[in-house]
Structure 1
Amino acid sequence: MLELKVDSEIVLKEIELFDAEDIFRLIDSDRENLRIWLSFVDSTKELFDTEDFIKSILFLPEEIRDFVTVIIYKGQKIGLIGFKLTDFVNKKTEIGYWISKEFENKGIVTKSIIKMIDYALDTLELNRIQIKCAIGNEKSSKIPKKLNFKFEGIERSAELLNGKFIDAEVYSILKDEWNSKN
């Protein structure tokens, strides 16, 4: 399993089935906070739901599998960050992420995203990284803005969340833009 060291306190470890219990416990203990912005929370009712999610990633052939990692902060699992909808032919991906509320506002997600971008552009040789944030999710949308992503627009009815469709802000950065700023 691949690990990316972000700094002396943060490691991104490729997700394994072994992580299911800890990830489920994180979701379950922070359910009310997470469900505000994440559609999967309400359908994650038992441990086997998290196990099925992890299996859906791991059982894909490696050449088409999205890279999903557990965010480990000071030795504790606190959330997930990964690529989704990766298109290797067109060299693009989207980054999705969440962490437990008690670890918000410490820069952990921002640092983790920077590491994931570097990995995507340098190792996977991708060209475009996208981040989508539900309209109103200020904490999440601050991150791509801070990292100089370009705002591309609003994806209407982007996700079904808590029984209603919500719009999402779409941000992206290209390899040459990232390299010129970092």
Structure 2
Amino acid sequence: MERLIVNSKIELEPLKFSHAFQVFHAIDRNREFLEPWLPFVQDTETQEDTENFIQSVTSPNSGDRDEVYVIWFENRFAGLIGLKDTDRVNMKTEIGYWIIQQMKGKGVVTLSTKRLIEYVFSSSGMNRIVIRCGVGNQKSAAIPKRLGFTFEGIEREGEKHRRKFIDLEVYSLLKAECDFLVSD
């Protein structure tokens, strides 16, 4: 994993253990904003919970681990973005993201997602990227729509939130459909 420059204001830095304090406090201060759509928020009660998450995705012993990046906007913590459930045999992965409330409406996630897509398609050999969003999370669903993803349908009860399941909108983008990639 390498640092990815999005533009003069936004950078993606590989998540490190030293980010635990910032990540936890961002989640803690933005619970009401994040919790309706992100099931991990309810399980993030202490900084130790965040440290355990970071350890799980950065440990060299975690095999095909998720690739998670801190989003920096004008050198301020904005959120996280990353690859999850990567399937190297079938050359596909999923992008997940979240930002703090203060950063919404600045294009931070759209631009960060676009940069991560460019990185994935140009350097990892992936052919397919998926983004899943809770049904009703219009802000999150606007991102794959803006970036040319195809709506594939609804994954019924695809994610558990507290004691209930929510449906997910599923979007995908194939490398051949990505018109903003620079040709090799």
Structure 2, unpaired ranges of 5+: none
CA deviations 1:97-124 (Å, max 9, x no partner) are 0000110011000000001001111011
Letter in 2 for 1:43: D
- The root-mean-square deviation of aligned C-alpha atoms, in Å, is 1.5
* 1:40 alignment partner, SS class: helix
Q: Which residue of structure 1 aligns with residue 97 of structure 2?
A: 97
**8 Å contact 2:56–2:62 — kept in the other structure?**
no
Letter in 2 for 1:129: I
Aligned pairs for 1:16-165 within 5 A? 16-61=16-61, 64-165=64-165
Q: Distance in 2 between matches of 1:59 and 1:131?
A: 25
Identity of aligned residues (%): 47
Q: Distance in 2 between matches of 1:41 and 1:99?
A: 12
Q: Distance in 1 between matches of 2:122 and 2:68?
A: 17
Structure 1 residue ranges (4+ consecutive) displaced by more than 6 angstroms after TM superposition? none
CA deviations 1:61-83 (Å, max 9, x no partner) are 48612210000010011100000
TM-score of the two chains, using structure 2 as the length reference: 0.95
Q: Which residue of structure 2 aligns with residue 168 of structure 1?
A: 168
Moved more, 41-50 or 61-70: 61-70
CA deviation after TM superposition for structure 1 residue 57, in Å:
0.5
Letter in 1 for 2:80: L
Q: Distance in 2 between matches of 1:108 and 1:172?
A: 20
**8 Å contact 2:81–2:97 — kept in the other structure?**
yes
CA deviation after TM superposition for structure 1 residue 88, in Å:
1.0
CA deviation after TM superposition for structure 1 residue 180, in Å:
7.1
Moved more, 156-165 or 132-141: 156-165
TM-score of the two chains, using structure 1 as the length reference: 0.96
